[in-house]
Chain A
């Protein structure tokens, strides 16, 4: 099993550009999460999904959008990228929710210049 796969691994954006961070999991997990990790900081929840078609905001949702059309995929969209969005983005998944182990992807390092 591949687990949780994120693409791309690295990306440099110019201010105002848009992009989509891809996340897919092959474990048939219901719950999926997007976190950002700023340098030297903890993980902040951006958005999460409890199943296909259902998404909700986390702690820091501004500037981002998500969709969950399938169980496997949970893309994160950045519109009008800003330097404050420079961060490492982690996607994670679990079967029953946050009350169990989260499986993390390897992360996407994004720089907005």
Chain B
């Protein structure tokens, strides 16, 4: 079926290290790939997104890469800080952009 798989489910890093979260998708028509951050008890918030005509996008300490041939995309966080601790969700569009399907999430813990 149409789904988005996300790995790892949990990730612990030392403050200052980098963190990488990977996702794969199944629908070759998907053309928009956002990443959302959800802090405990809060609503998801968009942190970065990438469209299918771009291979990489950066915003300060976060970056996203996309490999359309392999149908996978990744979130990279450099110089992690304790406030980066949260659950991160990848997502991909389906049905010509009408629907957004999420991965299962990655719990990121940044140890100080």
Contact B104 A41 (CB under 8 A): yes
Taking the complex as formed, is B102 at the interface, i.e. its CB lies under 8 A from any CB of chain A? Answer: yes
Contact B44 A104 (CB under 8 A): yes
With A43-B44, A105-B43 as contacts: A59 and B97 at CB distance below 8 Å? no
Main secondary structure of the interface of B (DSSP, over half): strand
Max count, chain B CB within 10 A of own CB: residue among A45, A98, A104:
A98
CB distance from A60 to the nearest CB of B (A): 11
Residue in contact with B34 in the complex, picked from A48, A90, A101, CB distance below 8 Å? A101
> In the assembled complex, which residues on chain B have CB atoms less than 8 Å from the CB atom of A40?
105
Chain B: number of interface residues, binned into ranges: 20 to 34
Contact A97 B44 (CB under 8 A): no
Interface string of B95-112 (1 = CB under 8 A from A): 001111111110000000
Taking the complex as formed, is A13 at the interface, i.e. its CB lies under 8 A from any CB of chain B? Answer: no
Taking the complex as formed, is A1 at the interface, i.e. its CB lies under 8 A from any CB of chain B? Answer: no
Chain A: number of interface residues, binned into ranges: 20 to 34
Taking the complex as formed, is A102 at the interface, i.e. its CB lies under 8 A from any CB of chain B? Answer: yes
With A41-B105, A42-B105 as contacts: A101 and B46 at CB distance below 8 Å? yes
Question: Between A and B, how many residue pairs show CB distances below 8 Å?
Answer: 58
> In the assembled complex, which residues on chain B have CB atoms less than 8 Å from the CB atom of A42?
6, 89, 102-105
Main secondary structure of the interface of A (DSSP, over half): loop
Contact B102 A98 (CB under 8 A): no
Near B by CB (< 8 A), chain A positions 74-113 give 90, 96-102, 104-107
Taking the complex as formed, is B24 at the interface, i.e. its CB lies under 8 A from any CB of chain A? Answer: no
Taking the complex as formed, is A56 at the interface, i.e. its CB lies under 8 A from any CB of chain B? Answer: yes
Smallest CB gap from A90: residue in B: B43
Contact A56 B98 (CB under 8 A): yes
- Which chain B residues have a beta carbon within 8 Å of chain A's beta carbons? 6, 31-32, 34, 42-46, 49, 51, 89, 93-94, 97-105
